Amino acid sequence: MAASISSNASKRRAEITEMVRAAGYQSIIDLAERFAVTEQTIRRDVNQLCDSGLLRRRHGGVELPSPNANIDYDQRMILNAGAKARIAAAVAARIPDGASVAVSIGTTPEMVVRALRSHNGLRVVTNNIAAALAASSNPSFEVTIAGGRIRPEGRDVLGQQVEQFFSAYKVDFGLFGVGGVDPDGSLLDFTEDEIRAREVISQNCRTKVVVLDHTKFGRAAYVRGGHIADPDLVFCDVAPPMGIAEMIRNAGHELVIASESDAALSLLPGMAEAGE
């Protein structure tokens, strides 16, 4: 019971942070109504998020630490960390020793690379600096990183040189996250450079793998590129909205739910989720 309560609180805090990032200031009263909990419970959530530096208090509510600022990379690693770790473990179980992997930007792809460090002989190409550093801790890996100007808020490199970099390889697995998934299945991000880098990875791999936790569904990113039905493998921590799951199945692709149980649930085309 205690573990379930902790899990619910963690998911709620991640969703509160995403709501503030997407829409700005949120009041304690509105958040309590949104999550059907007491104001005292929301205040505890807010206190923890503010103490962690993810948000800041303002006039009976909460907002971003500074207007329109991106959350620090280290702090983003905290958000939904348990879900990301489960997703990472599920992906790592699908990638064999000796494979070549292109890794995109973001904290969840980095977590996947961390989960892959027990593998042998991987060849990793990436524009994700944190992922490159994680991969380089395994001496059997061959790690190649894109050059260019670093984005401090993302610990990555983007731009035309990155697109040229990924175009020089044909890898076994193309691994990427997304900023959000629209209800119509569109994959969303925050800049055109993020979209273009992801698309080049998709075009130059044999198996496309997208990793996303539940907070990405309906998230208000606004630059569109690709569709949820495009990747060969979709990894998530919980079952996505029914319409999204149907799009993946109808495309003949695989949805893997890295739940809190010991084993990930793979939903192949034609399979139905429990309870449907």
**DSSP at 108:** H
* pLDDT per residue as tens, the chain (276 positions): 444 445 678 788 888 887 887 678 899 999 999 999 999 999 999 988 887 667 888 888 998 775 444 455 555 565 678 889 999 999 999 999 999 999 999 999 999 999 999 999 999 999 999 999 999 999 999 999 999 999 877 789 999 999 999 999 999 999 999 988 999 999 998 889 999 999 999 999 999 999 998 878 877 677 899 999 999 999 999 899 999 999 999 999 999 999 776 556 666 664 544 334
- Beta bridge partners, 265, equal 257
SS (H, E, C) 29-73: HHHHHHHCCCHHHHHHHHHHHHHCCCCEEECCEEECCCCCCCCCH
Which tokens go with 29? 């009263």
Closest to 245 measured CA to CA, from 220, 267, 218: 267
Q: What is the pTM of this model?
A: 0.75
- How does pLDDT run across 84-139, given as a tens digit for each residue? 999 999 999 999 999 999 999 999 999 999 999 999 999 999 999 999 999 999 99
pLDDT of 140: 98
pLDDT of 146: 96
Burial 11-43 (b: 16+ CB within 10 A, else e): bbbbbbbbbbbeeeebebeebbeebebeeebbe
Determine the Cα–Cα distance for residues 227 and 231; give it in Å rounded to an integer: 8
pLDDT of 76: 57
